[in-house]
Each structure stands twice: as structure tokens, then as C-alpha cells.
Amino acid sequence: MKIKIAFIQLLPGSNIERNLEIGKKACVEAKEKGADIALFPEMWSDGYSLPQDEAELNKLAIPKNSEFVNEFRNLAAGLQMAIGITFLEKNDPRPLNSVIFFDRHGKEILHYSKLHTCAFDDEKVLSKGDNFYVTDLDFEEGTVKIGSMICYDREFPESARILMLKGAELILAPNACPMEINRLSALRTRAYENMVAVATCNYPEGHPDCNGRSTLFDGVPWLREEPGSRDMCVFEAPGEPGVYVAELDLDRLRTHRSNDIMGDKYRHPEKYGILSDPDVRNVIGGEFVHW
């Protein structure tokens, strides 16, 4: 069983109306290319624009039941294709960096807000999310358990680990930053250590501080019937804008998960108490920004 993922690696427009237009056209193209789900880069509603002035920021924030979000709900049902749409979400006391996934029937199945906000930079004006979530995504060939993390979440092993422990097989990750060797290595590691697939959609070259290179790591570092290891990166987009579609072999991933030793197989959670101790902070030193 295979699922096809579309990466909407496009430049945003100058306002939300234009982003809606660009996004809807891109989803139609994704469907024409056979995609089961379309994934947008981070905060598509405003092209990852984060004014530091509170009034200006709140003007850009939209509620989850806004026309912008509901247009993608309706489009998902019309195209019979799941869509993960990202937006700056209106919230009290501060906006959220959010993604909502609609299945191919237009049903909301997952709503996640970035937990590890970049509070050391422009995202200090945002609130953080409260948890990680996993749900079943029904697509034409079958069902897959999906979860989501957003950009900086990937730098914390706990993000993907929690999603794996909740049952995720595929992590869908909107992004807005330069995908260089170290960030790509972090994604590869999250896939390897948790035996999960990780699909990341980035903005293309031409968008500030971004360079395309959306990726799919399939989470399978070796095959029993073949010697040596294999490259888990089964897709990497170029830097240019485009709607790119990659295929994930779920049967291969599930076989690996049932046969291999990573993930939750040999964990010792009784030894990990320090990981959730809130008093253990800033042990490395340097400036620390409290949330």
C-alpha cells in the first residue's frame, strides 16, 4: 500500500486572498498528479509574516473557522484529497502557528499548533501549542496514522518520539527555514530512531531565509533481503517553486517497524525522569528565553 504526498513548495502572494487563490490552484494540480494529501509550508495564510507590533500581528491572524480555512475544507471534499493547510491562528492571549488537516471527505481530523516556537526570534510574539496529536487518515488505498510537527519542533527528539509513542507512522511537517545538511540530518534522525516516515514542506528559493528542498524520509534504513544500508531520503525537491509529489511505501515501512529494534522496542522509560523535570533548564548556558 502506498500513499502519495504533494509538497506545495510555492512562493506566497502579497495577501491572504492571493494565498487562497495560489493554494487552491496548487491543490488542484496536486490532485491531477495523483496526490492523496497536499501539505503546505509553514503559516501559508500570510506567507510566514510575523509583525512584531501586536496590532499588526492580530490583523493577520485568522480563526480556524475562517473563510480561508473553510475553503480548503471544501476543496478537500471536492477533490477527494486530504489537505494540510497552515495559518496564523487567532488566539488569546497571542496568535498560534497552526496546521489543520482535512481528510478527503472534508472532515477535520487533526489541529496542531507549533509547540516549540522560536521564542528567541520573531516567534516570541506567538503563543505555543499544548500537545502532540495522532489520528487516522483515510485515503483511497487504506488508512495511515499521521501526526504533525512544525519546523523548529524537529530539533527536539521528544516531538517525534511522542508522536511515535502515540502511534504515528507518518509525520507531516510544515517548514519555513533553510534546509541545510544539519536540519536535514535532524529529520533523517527523527525518522531513523522512531521508525516513522517524515515529510517536510518548505518555501522555495526566493522566499526570505528559505531554499526549498522539501523532503520525504521513509523511515526504512535497511531491507532484510538486501545487504548494507539504504538512503531513507526517497525524495528531495530542488530549490525552485513547484508542486512536487512523492510516494511513500507504507507496506515497506510497516514491515520494517515489525521486524527492527528501534522505536519503542527497547526503551527504559523508568530511567528517563530527567527529561520531564521542569527544574532542569539551561544546563548548557547562554541566553535563555522563558516562554
Specify the pLDDT at position 281: 77
Specify the pLDDT at position 276: 87
CATH placement of domain 2-276: 3.60.110.10
Domain boundaries, the chain: 2-276
Q: Computed over its alpha carbons, how large is the radius of gyration of the chain? A: 18
Cβ neighbors of 203 (< 8 A, separation 6 or more) are 9, 10, 11, 12, 41, 42, 47, 48, 175, 176, 210, 212
pTM of the model: 0.95
Query: SS3 of 244, please?
Result: strand
Specify the pLDDT at position 280: 83
| Percent share of the chain, pLDDT over 90 | 88
pLDDT confidence tier of residue 287, bands split at 50, 70 and 90:
low
Q: Under a CB-based contact definition with an 8 Å cutoff, are residues 244 and 7 in contact?
A: yes
- What letter would DSSP give residue 167? T
pLDDT confidence tier of residue 202, bands split at 50, 70 and 90:
very high
Specify the pLDDT at position 151: 97
Angle (nearest 5°) at CA 37 between 165 and 59: 90
Tens-place pLDDT, residues 24-61:
999 999 999 999 999 999 999 999 999 999 999 999 99
